[in-house]
Amino acid sequence: MVAIVFEALAKFVSIYLVLLIIRVLLSWFPNIDWGNPALAALTQVTDPYLNLFRSIIPPLGGIDFSAILAFVLLQFVQSALYGAAASLGNGYMAYAAF
């Protein structure tokens, strides 16, 4: 049962990583209307997490390196969750790397 919870959390992290990638890629386009409901929802979901790292590493010359740290940490958490699920499971769950 605990393995299923860890696997579900790892899958949630995978989805969140995709949302972060979309958010970071869209930030490269300056003319995007962030007032669009879909984009506003995306920023509401992803910006609180990214802002944690922006407070640690401020943008340097217009380039935001804090997203790299955010991705690395989240991928580490994802790997730990998949590893915990695999070690607690019955051997049926395969490791799924992002």
Domain annotation covers residue 9: yes
Span 80-88, average pLDDT: 86
Domain annotation covers residue 50: yes
Domain annotation covers residue 96: no
Give the whole-angstrom CA distance, residue 53 versus residue 33: 24
Domain annotation covers residue 29: yes
According to DSSP, residue 57 is labeled S
Span 43-63, average pLDDT: 87
Name the phi and psi angles at 62, rounded to 5: 85, -5
Q: Confirm if 74 and 13 have CB atoms less than 8 A apart.
A: yes
CA dihedral 58, 23, 52, 4 (to 10 degrees): -150
Q: What pLDDT digit, counting tens, does each position of 7-42 carry?
A: 889 999 999 999 999 999 998 888 999 899 999 999
pLDDT above 60 (res 95): no
Name the phi and psi angles at 91, rounded to 5: 85, 0
pLDDT above 60 (res 81): yes
pLDDT above 70 (res 93): no
pLDDT above 60 (res 70): yes
In total, how many domains does the chain have? 1
Among 85, 89, 92, 91, residue whose Cα is nearest residue 12: 85
Q: What residue numbers bound the domain in which 45 lies? A: 2-88
Domain annotation covers residue 94: no
Q: Confirm if 59 and 51 have CB atoms less than 8 A apart.
A: no
98's enclosing H/E stretch is none
Domain annotation covers residue 12: yes
Domain annotation covers residue 97: no
Domain annotation covers residue 98: no
What integer pLDDT is reported at residue 83 of this predicted model? Answer: 87
pLDDT above 80 (res 63): no
pLDDT above 50 (res 98): no
